[in-house]
Amino acid sequence: MIVNKRDLYIMPGDFCVARSPAVLHTTLGSCVAVTLWHPALLQGGMCHYLLSRGEGVEAQDVPGRYGDKVLPIMFQTLARVSDLSGFNVGLYGGSAILFAVKGMNIGDDNLALATQWIEQHGLTVSHQSIGGAGCRTLDFDLRTGRVSVKEFHELT
C-alpha cells in the first residue's frame, strides 16, 4: 500500500523494488524480510514472505507469500539493473512465534531458505536482526540503505 510518495508499506506476502527516496516499511514475526540495496544506484528491494516453500503453488498466484517463489523474482529483477554483487544484503525476522506440526519452527525454516539463496548467489549479509521470540518493525531507507529495526520481545 502506498501511503504517500515516499513511504511504502510491504505487507505480509508482498515485495517491492524501488528507487530513492522511497522508504520501505514492514513488521515481522516468524516471517522473513530480505533487503537488497545498491549504494551507487540508490535502488533496492524488500520482500516479506510468510513461509519458505509453496509446494504446488504457481509463482504468479501468490508471488510474495513463499520464499522459494519471491526470492527468484526479486533477485532477477534487481540483477537487471546491476550485478547482484554490488548490492548490500539484509536479513530480518524468523522469530520463534509460529510452530508447525511436530514442533518445526517456521521462523528457522524461513531463515534457512533465505540464507541458502544469499549464499547461492555468492552474497554476504551486511546487516541482520534475526531469531528471538518477538516481532520487529523495519524501516528501509533507499536514500542511505539504512535499515532501522525496532524489536518487541515476547510478553510474559
Q: Which domains does the chain have, with CATH numbers?
A: 7-150 (3.30.1330.200)
Cβ–Cβ under 8 Å, residues 141 and 134: no
Between the CA of residue 76 and those of 28, 50, 73, 136, what are the distances in Å? 24, 20, 5, 27
What is the pTM (predicted TM-score) of this model? 0.89
Residue 2: band (very low, low, confident or very high) from pLDDT cuts 50, 70, 90 = very low
How many other CB atoms are there within 10 angstroms of residue 65's CB atom?
20
pLDDT for the residue 5: 63
Q: Mean pLDDT throughout 118-145?
A: 95
pLDDT for the residue 61: 63
Residue 118: band (very low, low, confident or very high) from pLDDT cuts 50, 70, 90 = very high
23: pLDDT strictly greater than 80: yes
| CA–CA dist 82, 99 (Å, integer) | 38
Residue 1: band (very low, low, confident or very high) from pLDDT cuts 50, 70, 90 = very low
% of the chain exceeding 90 in pLDDT: 74
- The larger pLDDT score, comparing residue 59 to residue 2, is at 59
Q: What is the pLDDT of residues 50-63, one digit of tens each?
A: 999 887 666 556 67
C-alpha neighbours within 13 Å on the C-beta side of residue 132: 18
**The residue type at 61:** D
pLDDT for the residue 150: 96
